[in-house]
Amino acid sequence: MKSLMSALVITTALTLPGIAMAKPVTLTTKMNNYGGDGAYLAFYVTDAQGAYVGSLWMAGGKSKYYEHMRDWYRATAGNPQEINGITGASVGAGQSLTVSLNLNEALFDAGYQLHIDAAVEDMRESPSEIVVPLTREGTGQATRGRRYIANFIYDM
């Protein structure tokens, strides 16, 4: 049931008109030249109290590595249902990842935060590498990562 609620809150394709409006959002992540294999990235949202709301995207296809995205894994108990249908390839050093999706407008300016966990094989994990509040004002603003991500931008 939580998975269904998360899907309805985050992706608004099934949202009833008048209750919530979908907003097309583009997530752009530019990776540093860190000199390792492709990075696994978990994009997810938490509410104002820090509670997990739902997953937006998972870059990296081998589920045996998901536990290395510690904050996401802890929040979801590693449940693959949280990312069914929203996965893609890992992202190589120096490359960029662009993901377009619809987000519920109610997530903006309401205390929600977007997190990105990162992990690279044979290198250190980077839980919550990026944490940005979802605000209309933050649109188009670059946020620097702590280890593997050079910068992250969301645009509406």
DSSP 26-63: EEEEEE---SSSPEEEEEEEE-TTS-EEEEEEEE---G
Of residues 72 and 84, more confidently modeled: 72
Q: Is 100 exposed, middle or buried (0-12, 13-18, 19+ CB in 10 A)?
A: exposed
3 state DSSP class of 25: strand
Whether 16 shows a pLDDT value over 70: the answer reads no
In this predicted model, which residue has the larger pLDDT, 136 or 5?
Answer: 136
Write down all domains in the chain, each with its CATH number in brackets: 2-149 (2.60.40)
Better pLDDT: 1 or 82: 82
Enter the tokens of residue 37. Answer: 């294999």
Q: What is the mean pLDDT of residues 40-46?
A: 97
The chain-wide mean pLDDT, for the chain, equals: 88
Predicted confidence (pLDDT) per residue in 91-149, tens digit: 999 999 999 999 999 999 999 999 999 999 999 999 999 999 999 999 999 999 999 99
In the prediction, which pLDDT does 21 show? 85
pLDDT at residue 152 above 50? yes
Round to whole Å and give the CA distance between 53 and 10. 8
Strands 52-59 and 149-155, bridge-based pairing: unpaired
pLDDT value, residue 19 = 52
Q: What is the spatial distance between Cα 119 and Cα 99, in angstroms, rounded to a whole number?
A: 18
Higher pLDDT among residues 57 and 9, named by residue: 57
